[in-house]
């Protein structure tokens, strides 16, 4: 953490303006340069009530090129934001590469206020840990953080609040509840100090700015934004200590793929009985989830031609079309590429009460992107933790999560590819790429095993589905979904 305090001699208006005028062309040039780079700059504006956070935002907007800057205020969440995982709105607001995002209020606001109001220390600490993970994830992806904490003493706060009371017409903000602010000053100070200390790191450092003098405060902000823009302009991804972020080799465990009985086959009469049974169970469960405003995320991954589409359709057939969406993922578009790879998956999460089905998913990062080399080793290696964290956020947002890997043998895949080439309306399903992917089977297999090992969590467990017999696969999926929802509804 860096601390900035005004000198004993007050900064004169002339001197302030002279120094700002010197900085402005530099800021403009640095901003121009970083726009072509790979890094977004994320400016977190926080601090004590009355320290002038809004004034700093106005100043930043004056200095920066508006075409590359966006300001997001996190105030009271809207109803639809409340009906999504807590971090959803923060993810939505993240600036793309080459852009500056100024955040007024942030992921720090709620934990600190809740702790002031009595949140347990353990839960407060867990929230700070989530913040560290979130910031680290973005920083490792290239984001440059500028976290600013504007501080004033209780005495200065009181003076400023008195001034607002006397001249409300000179201020753009709502009158804060003065008594309450002053009464909780010490507690707030103590708790935010703890938050700052715990979330201060090399990848996202805090800057603690004494804001008793407005000019010093603004000048400090100007200097710091210049530094941040220059860092982003260099677009060097931060140095990642290999030992920490490279996945170690997989422990010598029993293979999950190998332990599946691929010969499993449901007799026809049993299927005809089980399919409607599970489908109607799922229908009713989906309505119960809807009524309790709870959601389901079902992730489908598997070998090409393993039967994902057919399994998904047996699920959706039992759902009211108003209650679900199927999201298919292929290559990201340019807006999606400009963000962290998880951004586009966050984006799709609907308000509570819905079922979302991912036809392929964020696991692409540790499957196709790993095997084809679209992601660097350190990138996919740290993705396991990032994905677990993503799913934890979703689970905390009131979701049940089920993840399916549809498993077939390489021989079975070959049979199906050939079959597809014969059946005219299935031809579109098979491309030269599918054939190429087949050659990399062992490397995909390795990636799948590691994925199953590292991302099989309590809140988001994997089910490996034997899929040689499509009917077995479908019943397994339906049964698992029913049990997942029943357990979830019992537990919640």
Q: Segment contacting its own copies (CB under 8 A): 183-191, 331-339, 382-390, 453-461?
A: 331-339
Q: Nearest distance from residue 418's CB to its own copies, in Å?
A: 17
Q: Segment contacting its own copies (CB under 8 A): 145-153, 262-270, 278-286, 373-381?
A: 278-286
Phi, then psi, of 317 in degrees rounded to 5? -55, -30
| Side-chain half-sphere CA neighbours of 105 within 13 A | 13
Q: Nearest distance from residue 56's CB to its own copies, in Å?
A: 10
Find, among 452, 459, 356, the residue nearest to 406 by Cα.
Answer: 452
Tell me the CA distances in angstroms from 463 to 121, 300, 400, 473, one per residue in order. 36, 10, 14, 11
Contacts (CB under 8 A) with its own copies, residues 456-475? none
* Cα end-to-end span (Å), the chain: 40
251 binds its own copies (CB under 8 A): no
Q: Nearest distance from residue 92's CB to its own copies, in Å?
A: 12
Tell me the Ramachandran region of residue 47: left when phi exceeds 0, alpha when psi lies from -120 to 50, beta otherwise: left
Token reading at 244: 């920490």
For its own copies, the binding residue among 117, 249, 425, 458 (CB under 8 A) is 425
24 binds its own copies (CB under 8 A): yes
For its own copies, the binding residue among 43, 57, 119, 394 (CB under 8 A) is 57
Report the DSSP beta bridge partners of residue 73. Answer: 104
Contacts (CB under 8 A) with its own copies, residues 153-212? 169-174
Q: Nearest distance from residue 426's CB to its own copies, in Å?
A: 8
Q: Nearest distance from residue 435's CB to its own copies, in Å?
A: 18
DSSP 327-354: EE--S--HHHHTS-TTHHHHHT--STT-
36 binds its own copies (CB under 8 A): no
For its own copies, the binding residue among 180, 284, 293, 376 (CB under 8 A) is 284
By rule CB under 8 A, what string of x and - marks binding of each residue 376-395 to its own copies? --------------------
Cβ proximity to its own copies: between 60 and 395 the closer is 60
Q: Is 252 helix (H, G, I), strand (E, B) or coil?
A: coil
CA triple 418-466-277, angle to 5 deg:
110
Say which residue the tokens 């809807």 belong to.
Answer: 290
* Strands in 38-141 per DSSP E: 41-47, 69-73, 100-104
Using CB under 8 A, list all residues that contact its own copies.
24-25, 27-29, 31-32, 54, 57-58, 61-62, 65-67, 70-73, 75, 78-81, 83, 104-105, 169-174, 276, 280, 283-284, 286-287, 309, 312-313, 316-323, 325-326, 328, 330, 333-335, 351, 359, 424-428
């Amino acid at each position: 953490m860096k601390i900035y305090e005004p000198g004993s001699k007050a900064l004169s208006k002339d001197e302030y303006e002279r120094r700002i005028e010197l900085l402005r062309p530099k800021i403009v040039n640095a901003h121009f340069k970083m726009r072509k780079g790979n890094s977004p700059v994320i400016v977190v504006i926080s601090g004590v009530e009355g320290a002038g956070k809004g004034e700093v935002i106005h100043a930043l907007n004056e200095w920066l090129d508006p075409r590359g800057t966006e300001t997001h205020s996190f105030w009271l969440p809207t109803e639809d934001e409340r009906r999504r995982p807590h971090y959803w709105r923060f993810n939505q607001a993240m600036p793309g590469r080459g852009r500056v995002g100024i955040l007024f209020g942030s992921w720090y606001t709620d934990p600190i206020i809740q702790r002031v109001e009595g949140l347990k220390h353990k839960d407060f600490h867990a929230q700070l840990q989530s913040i560290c993970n979130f910031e680290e994830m973005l920083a490792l992806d290239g984001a440059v953080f500028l976290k600013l904490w504007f501080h004033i003493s209780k005495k200065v706060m009181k003076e400023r609040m008195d001034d607002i009371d006397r001249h409300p017409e000179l201020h753009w903000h709502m009158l804060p509840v003065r008594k309450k602010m002053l009464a909780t000053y010490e507690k707030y100070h103590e708790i935010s100090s703890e938050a700052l200390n715990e979330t201060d790191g090399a990848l996202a450092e805090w800057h603690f700015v004494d804001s008793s003098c407005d000019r010093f405060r603004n000048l400090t902000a100007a200097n710091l934004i210049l530094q941040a823009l220059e860092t982003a302009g260099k677009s060097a991804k931060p140095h990642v200590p290999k030992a920490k972020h490279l996945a170690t080799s997989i422990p010598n465990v029993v293979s999950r793929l190998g332990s599946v009985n691929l010969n499993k086959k449901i007799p026809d009469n049993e299927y005809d009985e089980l399919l409607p049974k599970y489908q109607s169970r799922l229908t009713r469960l989906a309505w119960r989830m809807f009524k309790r405003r709870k959601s389901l995320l079902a992730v489908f991954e598997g070998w090409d031609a393993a039967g994902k589409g057919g399994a998904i359709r047996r699920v959706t057939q039992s759902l009211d079309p108003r209650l679900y969406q199927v999201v298919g993922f292929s290559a990201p578009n340019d807006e999606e590429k400009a963000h962290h790879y998880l951004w586009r998956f966050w984006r799709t999460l609907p308000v509570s009460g819905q079922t979302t089905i991912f036809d392929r998913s964020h696991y692409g990062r540790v499957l196709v992107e790993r095997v084809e080399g679209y992601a660097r080793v350190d990138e996919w290696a740290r993705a396991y933790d990032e994905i677990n964290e993503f799913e934890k956020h979703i689970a905390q947002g009131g979701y049940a999560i089920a993840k399916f890997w549809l498993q077939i043998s390489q021989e079975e895949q070959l049979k199906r590819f050939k079959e597809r080439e014969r059946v005219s309306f299935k031809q579109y399903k098979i491309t030269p790429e599918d054939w190429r992917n087949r050659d990399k089977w062992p490397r995909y297999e390795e990636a799948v095993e590691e994925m199953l090992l590292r991302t099989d969590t309590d809140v988001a467990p994997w089910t490996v589905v034997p899929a040689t017999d499509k009917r077995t696969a479908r019943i397994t999926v339906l049964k698992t979904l029913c049990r997942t929802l029943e357990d979830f509804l019992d537990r919640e």
